[in-house]
Each structure stands twice: as C-alpha cells, then as structure tokens.
Amino acid sequence: MPAVTTPPRPTACLTLADGTVFYGQGFGATGDTVAELCFNTAMTGYQEIMTDPSYAGQVVTFTFPHVGNVGVNPEDDETAEPVAAGMVVKWDPTVPSNWRAAEPLQGWLERRGRIGIGGIDTRRLTRAIRQQGAPHVALSHNPEGKFDIEALVAKARAFAGLEGLDLAKDVTCAQSYRWDEMRWAWPDGYAKRTEPGHKVVAIDYGAKRNILRCLASAGCDVTVLPATATAEEVLAHNPDGVFLSNGPGDPAATGVYAVPMIREVLDKADIPVFGICLGHQMLALALGAKTVKMNHGHHGANHPVKDLETGKVEITSMNHGFTVDSQTLPQGVIETHVSLFDGSNCGIRIADRPVFSVQYHPEASPGPQDSYYLFERFSAAIAERRGK
C-alpha cells in the first residue's frame, strides 16, 4: 500500500473580518498583522511589490504561484524596507535559482519583520475579493500552530481601513535629497547621471526608486522633497518642472496638505507638472475633481489602457485602490487615458498647459515598455519651456 502522508500542521492563518479563516504554512516573521487584503496578478516582481510604498496598510495575495523562485537582491528594492504588511501565496516559497539572488525570500521577510503564508487557495481568495471588495484581515504566523481565532476576527473587524487615512506621511522621506541613479542597463547595472539636466523637484508621497531612475534617464536633475513640502519650498529650488509621485492611502486625506501646494505651484509657475498614481489623484483633486474608493482596485502588470487621443493601447502596471471620478473633471481638464477593464480614469491633462498625469506606473516595465514615453514627454515639455 502507498504510504499515507499527513498534511503538515498549520503554522499560519489568514482571518477575514467576516469570520472566514484560511490555514496555511507561515514563513518570514512571526506574530500578527492587520491590514486590507488585495490581490496582484503580476507574474514577476514580488520583491518590487513588497517594497512599493503604495502597498502600505495592505497584505498582498499573489495570484501567480511561483513566488520566491528568484530570491531577493538589494538592486530590486523600490524603497529601503518592505512596506506591504504581508504576503499570501499558493505554494510555499522555493529555494531561489537565479544568478542575481542574494538571499532567500523567507529570510529576507523574517529580517524585515514581514509575515508570509503559503498553501492558500489563492483562486478562491481572489474570487472573494472581487465579489465582496477588499476585506480587512488579520494575518498570524505562529510556529506552534496556536491561534485565537475569535481574537483575530475581532482585530480584523476593528481595522479602520484605508478610507480617510493619510499614509503618505508614513512613507515619505524625512528630508530632501538629490537623485542621480539612472535605469538599469547591461552590463554595468545602474549608472550615475553626471551631465547637467533639467531641474526637477519630485514630491515624495511614497516614490518608487525606479520612477526617480526614469526621470534621471530622461534628462532630469532630480531633487526629492517630502510629501508635506510647501509651494514656497518647492519654488525655492527654481525648478524647470515638478513631479508628483505615487503613494499609499486615501488621496482625499493626503490632499489636505498636498492640494494647496499643487494649486499654488500651478498659479505661480508656468512649468510642466507630471504625476503618477497618487500624484495623478493629487493633481486631479487640485484641479477640482474628486476621487472614490474602488471595490478591489487595480493591482497587476497586464492592465490594458487606451490613450483616447491617439487610439493606442498600452499594457501597463497598476497599483491603486482609489480612482479619479472622471464625471467630476472640470472644464479645461481633458481625460486622456481609460482602463479597458472597467472604463475607469487613467490619465488627465490641462488643455492649454504641459500639466498631465496617469494612474498607472510607466516606470514598472514588466516586460513591455509601452509607457516610458511619458517621461520623455515630460522632459521634452521642460526643454520646450526652457527654450522660450
């Protein structure tokens, strides 16, 4: 007779606010964490996702099962430390097999204080998120397999959620700094920008490093300022352009201090402005539009977006749980891009000024580089303004 294998005792559980419990095998740090649960459909980039500041306050379900197979390395961090609260995967992370791997995912998560759970039916979980909306969850890892489910459900139910929450202040830089690293290129990796460039002030609402690299590669001399920077502080740098970064949380909450700054910059300086993700939402709010919470958001690397002005369709990377309500865009603000999944707004511009933004991430380049032109458009707009 074939040997009977006994399933391993669960060492982790994911508890939803409605009382649903998923048991699995824990890895990474031990303990509990409470957050909103989302899913990401990307086939690559788990390290970049875990270190993307836009995932603050969220546990990420990875729908692609091969997580951990390429390990982790310092070059792929989007910020200094993981920001996502935890990760949920189908299969337990494997031993890394990649020439760039510096260490296994499990040890990296443990050192960085982030919890992972494997052995989960991620298809069932993803369907639940799509049908019911992004739930509040408690993720627990206990090597002894002891869980107080009633207490975990109570923790999940007590989580306030992301609406009304300003998380940009939690992930922004503490002080200004210069950025000169450019995009990765074979065989030298990340080169430094040494030539003079356009003076760009980047507002850090949770900026990913690769966005700053793309700006540098597009000809920009980048100075990064904290999310709470005032218009006076921005304009004191005499910038040729202003960039508004991605970031986490409710845009309406961050907009309390960001919107007045953007409006004053637009009033006092006739310079190009470019926004991505939360920066897109900040610009929209500053122009008079509104934002709304989405059912389960857009998180993945294969989202089709249509450029309404050219008819071109771009395959993009997205990570957002709020969206700009296109019905509230004021006169003079043109909708430039829409999602082909659900028709939601993905881009705007001012009709008569080089001020524009997109909801998706043109820097992520998960294979296609369909949207890198936006950085070149920003740089070209600055060059045109400087030439006048």
* SS3 per residue for the chain: CCCCCCCCCCCEEEEECCCCEEEEEEEECCEEEEEEEEEECCCCCHHHHHCCHHHECEEEEECCCCCCCCCECHHHCCCCCCCECEEECCCCCCCCCCCCCCECHHHHHHHHCCEEEECCCHHHHHHHHHHHCCCEEEEEECCCCCCCHHHHHHHHHHCCCCCCCCCHHHHCCCCCEEECEEEEECCCEEEECCCCCEEEEEEECCCCHHHHHHHHHCCEEEEEEECCCCHHHHHCCCCCEEEECCCCCCHHHHHHHHHHHHHHHHHHCCCCEEEECHHHHHHHHHCCCCEEEEEEEEEEEEEEEEECCCCCEEEEEEEEEEEECHHHCCCCEEEEEEECCCCCEEEEEECCCCEEEECCECCCCCCCCCCCHHHHHHHHHHHHHHHC
188: left (phi over 0), alpha (psi -120 to 50) or beta: alpha
State yes or no: is 363 an active-site residue.
yes
State yes or no: is 320 an active-site residue.
no
Q: How far apart are CA 11 and CA 30, in angstroms?
A: 10
CA separation, residue 266 to residues 5, 23, 241, 336 (Å): 66, 52, 11, 20
What domains are defined for the chain?
A: 12-158 (3.50.30.20), 168-387 (3.40.50.880)
Annotated active-site residue in 48, 78, 314, 363: 363
State yes or no: is 150 an active-site residue.
no
Angle between helix axes 209-217 and 373-387 (nearest 10 degrees) is: 50
Q: How far apart are CA 148 and CA 376, in angstroms?
A: 53
List per-block mean pLDDT (blocks of 10 residues) for the chain, which spans 388 residues. Answer: 68 97 97 98 95 97 95 95 97 92 97 97 96 96 97 97 96 97 89 94 98 97 98 98 98 98 97 98 98 96 95 95 98 98 98 97 81 96 87
Annotated active-site residue in 214, 277, 320, 346: 277
In tens, the pLDDT along 120-149 reads 999 999 999 999 999 999 999 999 999 999
Q: Are residues 282 and 254 in contact, defined by beta-carbon separation less than 8 angstroms?
A: yes
If we measure between CA atoms, which residue out of 132, 170, 155, 172 comes closest to residue 39? 132
Annotated active-site residue in 198, 298, 299, 361: 361
pLDDT score for 56: 97
pLDDT score for 367: 62
pLDDT score for 188: 85
Residue length, the chain?
388
Sign of CA dihedral 261, 263, 266, 272: positive
pLDDT score for 365: 74
Per the DSSP assignment, residues forming a β-bridge with 103 are 72
